[in-house]
Amino acid sequence: MFTINPNASVCYNPTTLSWNNRTDCCSWMGVHCEETTGQVIELDLACSGLQGKFHSNSSLFQLSKLKRLYLYFNNFSGSLISAKFGELSNLTHLDLSHSGFTGVIPAEISHLSKLQVLSISTVDPYGLRLGPYNFELLLKNLTQLRKFHLDSLRGVLPERVFHLSNLEHFELSSNSLTGSIPSNVSGLQNLQLLYLSSNYLNGTILSCIFSLPSLFLLDLSNNFFSGKIQEFKSNTLEFVSVKQNQLQGPIPKSLLDLQDVQVLILSQNNFSVQIASTVCNLKTLSVLDLGSNHLNRTIPQCLGEMSGLTVLGLNENSDFSGHHANTLIVTTKSLDLELPRVLTTSMIIDLSRNRFEGYLPSIIGDLVGLRTQNLSHNGLEGIIPASLQHLSVLE
């Protein structure tokens, strides 16, 4: 028996409070039935504030025609994932994420050959794991998957996952997976979102990943990828993060030619040489983080003319140097009348840990949208301008 606890969910939408034994269950919130037979085909208990143990004798497992089951964002208090989930053979959608399940993900889940969406993750202090061969078994049998999300896994990233031709959303972030991305990923023609961040993956990031024809989000951050990123072709990428790896060499021209990119995070690597001015052609760019690399020479003046840019990180690039007294805040843009117009929207600027010298210009007070700035660990000198008092949203 579950209790209802509003604090059991980060979201709270207690559908079960509307349930009444005196009414047809098909009229209850979160319950959908097949029109002709009246059998339950969808049960949505997400964010219901359910708290307590989830037992294998639950009446839920009697719903043999169930197609869609959503149990995410509850608190099942370290319950094991029952093997009986594998008996719900008509399931196309199964989401058990962020609900406090723990232990081994049962091999019986692989029996659900009709699954299109599988999401199983947990919350602290609980952990999940797969048996020695269960990962490969899942991938072998669940060939219809469109969304695949697992966490708390260990072992080698299976090559088979890159051959799931229906996959659109692939998320294995925050695991302990090792291995590399295979050279052949041509099976992922429908992939739109790829999250592999916070693992122990290594090797090079091949250009074929960036070139997947439907991919618009790529997150490979916080791994051990190394070497250079080769040039590639993409007309779809909007979000790219390779933060905190061991990548080196120049920033590929291809990354600076992504006409629809909105977020570009390349920080905490070993990229070298100067920032190409072609980055200023990215008219949709709102976040650019190049911090903690080995970028050198001057910063392109045209960065100050990018009206959509709201977050700019250039911190800890010790090869930046020079006297930029009137241009520091706006990334070496010369002072002119365009400055207030360009930077009046919400903005975060981090230029810390470089080798900038000179005085802080009073024009900084015109950056009325500036919320966060970090200029620490440079060679700046002089008096802090009184115009700073005009920055009413500065945090």
381 belongs to a structural domain: yes
Q: How confident is the model at residue 345 (pLDDT cuts 50, 70, 90)?
A: very low
Q: How confident is the model at residue 297 (pLDDT cuts 50, 70, 90)?
A: low
Q: Give the tens place of pLDDT for each residue, 12-55.
A: 888 888 888 888 999 999 999 999 999 999 999 999 888 999 99
- The whole-number pLDDT of residue 239 equals 97
Domain at 323, CATH number: 3.80.10.10
284 belongs to a structural domain: yes
Tell me which residue range forms the domain holding 324: 274-395
Bond before 125 cis per omega within 30 degrees: yes
355 belongs to a structural domain: yes
Tell me the two tokens of residue 241. 């993060």
Q: How confident is the model at residue 319 (pLDDT cuts 50, 70, 90)?
A: low
- The whole-number pLDDT of residue 384 equals 65
309 belongs to a structural domain: yes
228 belongs to a structural domain: no
Helix (H) or strand (E) holding 169: strand 169-171
311 belongs to a structural domain: yes
- The whole-number pLDDT of residue 124 equals 79
Lowest-pLDDT range of 71-80, 299-308, 367-376? 367-376
Q: Give the tens place of pLDDT for each residue, 128-139.
A: 888 777 888 888
85 belongs to a structural domain: no
CA quadruple 160, 166, 168, 169: dihedral, nearest 10: -50
| Per-chain mean pLDDT for the chain | 83
CA quadruple 94, 96, 98, 103: dihedral, nearest 10: -140
Stretch 226-254: mean pLDDT, rounded?
Answer: 96
C-beta atoms surrounding 61 within 10 Å: 15
Q: Give the tens place of pLDDT for each residue, 367-379.
A: 655 666 666 666 6
User: 337: which residues sit within 8 A by CB, 6+ positions away?
Assistant: none
Stretch 129-152: mean pLDDT, rounded?
Answer: 88
Lowest-pLDDT range of 4-13, 15-24, 134-143, 182-191? 4-13
Domains identified in the chain, total number: 1
Identity at 303, one-letter amino acid code: L
328 belongs to a structural domain: yes
Q: Please, where are the H alpha helices in the chain?
A: 134-141, 207-210, 338-342
Check if the beta carbon of residue 251 is closer than 8 Å to that of residue 210: no
pTM as predicted: 0.80
